[in-house]
Structure 1
Amino acid sequence: MKSELRFQLAVAVLAVAASMFTGYAISQTAPQSLASPESFALISDTDARSAAMFTELGKVLTHPRCTNCHPATDRPRQGDEGRLHQPPVTRGADGHGLPAMRCSSCHKHANFEPGRMPGHPEWHLAPREMAWEGKTVAEICAQLKDPARNGGRKVEELIHHIGEDTLVGWAWVPGGGRSPAPGTQKQAGALVEAWVKTGAGCPAQ
């Protein structure tokens, strides 16, 4: 009986190890690439070229690393499947959680890999007006151009926000077996800059 229990325990341990390895392997897979602004040069119509570049950027904006922190409700989401955050936290007045459960209570200055806990000094939810979970790329594009729904930013400010902001940059180094956003932050920033310089056109749908 004892040998049977030891065997069952060993099988369970191997199963857990296998699942952990699988998660790690997924995180090490080369992320989906992003096309460069130059690759859209053959589109002669400027508005169409601009819209095409934003559609490419949409691969990042609709990825779970972005939508989980731009939720449609006051509850953040987590994981590649976008499940509701556990424990059940909520936005709070400033996006950093309620007084009794601040984001910083768990999310520290960097990823804590033994616990698979993501981290950054400014960990928080995007403002309510910047919610885009469940929206189409065209809807997100219109939202990003609207100061009332983009945090009061001019589109030019999005170049730095997406291309250089370190909290946004976490999306490409999420750790913990999470899939990173497509491409790199530098590539995303280049697309935003090119999109802005070509008139910030939006896809039709």
Structure 2
Amino acid sequence: MNALKQIHFYKLGSLAAIILVASLPMNAAAKDPYQRFMDSPDAATAFQYIHQVATHPRCANCHGVVDDSGSFYPTVGANRKPHPMNITIANNVILYQEGESYKQVEGVVLSCRSCHRDANGDKEGMPPGNATAAMPGFVWHMPQPNMTIPIGISAQSLCKKWLDPAHNSSHLAYRGGKDDLDTFKTEFFEHHAKLDPLVAWSWSPGPGREKAPGEHQDFIRAVGVWIDSGAPCPDK
């Protein structure tokens, strides 16, 4: 592809000169992590793309934040503002597994399911939702506080966090980690990346919301490439 051109104007005394300067070729411009992975899929580019998805508001908002007072709550919007109506972990739907289905613990008066149903609202600003037959009963809910994705977390820190069972597991599942990649692949790749309807929702978030980078199938592929390569963490 031809190089981009920039026109520079210079005034020397009473004379004006126009100099045409060649800049970097367009194909040498920096690519984002998704593009780099698609162009050259390996463990390094895969995790950079995974980090790009995980820190995008479509994922990070649901994983929530723990503020200075210790309160854990989901966030909304591109700027990760606190969820309206003072929603916190106290309003979370609590799930437990029964056979192949997930059931809800009763007793939460105002919970995620009070507004978030099985599909997105059809107008901008309406509550999102997603449910699939692949994981029956797995409805809209918050992860546990150990699974937050802090604002500004580096790719290296996120990688180490995910490979530590203390930070990736809950009462629903032990997800393994660096020392148990077989379990980690089953839980993080087969169940979470491929089947979890809340993960899939990130690419179909409903009217007025920017979807996560790339496509769901691209993300699934990246997680597979990364784990099958031994789940290496970036240098930074």
- Shift of the 80–167 alpha-carbon distance from structure 1 to 2, 3 Å rule, reads same
Q: Which consecutive unaligned segments of at least 5 residues does structure 1 have? A: 1-31, 42-48
Per the alignment, residue 137 of structure 1 pairs with: 155
C-alpha displacement at 1:38, in angstroms? 6.8
Over the matched positions of the two proteins, sequence identity in percent amounts to 32
Distance in 2 separating the partners of 1:200 and 1:163: 17
1:124 is the counterpart of 2:121 = no
Per the alignment, residue 65 of structure 1 pairs with: 58
Task: Tell me the alpha carbon deviations over residues 61-97 of structure 1, each in whole angstroms, 9 at most, x when there is no partner.
Answer: 110001101122211101122111001111128x428
Distance in 1 separating the partners of 2:160 and 2:208: 32
| Structure with the bigger percentage of strand | 2
Distance in 2 separating the partners of 1:196 and 1:35: 20
Distance in 2 separating the partners of 1:178 and 1:60: 15
Distance in 2 separating the partners of 1:96 and 1:123: 8
1:22-33 correspondence to structure 2 within 5 Å: none
Q: Which consecutive unaligned segments of at least 5 residues does structure 2 have? A: 1-31, 67-71, 95-106, 132-138, 177-183
SS at 1:159 equivalent: helix
- Pick one of 155, 171, 175 that aligns with 2:202: 171
Distance in 1 separating the partners of 2:207 and 2:33: 21
- Pick one of 81, 85, 88 that aligns with 1:87: 85
C-alpha displacement at 1:51, in angstroms? 3.1
Task: Tell me the alpha carbon deviations over residues 28-57 of structure 1, each in whole angstroms, 9 at most, x when there is no partner.
Answer: xxxx8834867436xxxxxxx523320121
Q: Provide the aligned length of Structure 1 versus Structure 2.
A: 166
Higher relative contact order (CA 8 A, sep 6+): 1
- Pick one of 168, 188, 202 that aligns with 2:233: 202
User: TM-score, normalised to structure 2's length?
Assistant: 0.64
| AA in 1 matched with 2:130 | H
Structure (1 or 2) with the larger CA radius of gyration = 2
User: TM-score, normalised to structure 1's length?
Assistant: 0.73
C-alpha displacement at 1:178, in angstroms? 0.6
| AA in 2 matched with 1:105 | S
| Structure with the bigger percentage of helix | 1
CA contact (8 A) 2:73 2:83 kept: yes
| AA in 1 matched with 2:93 | H
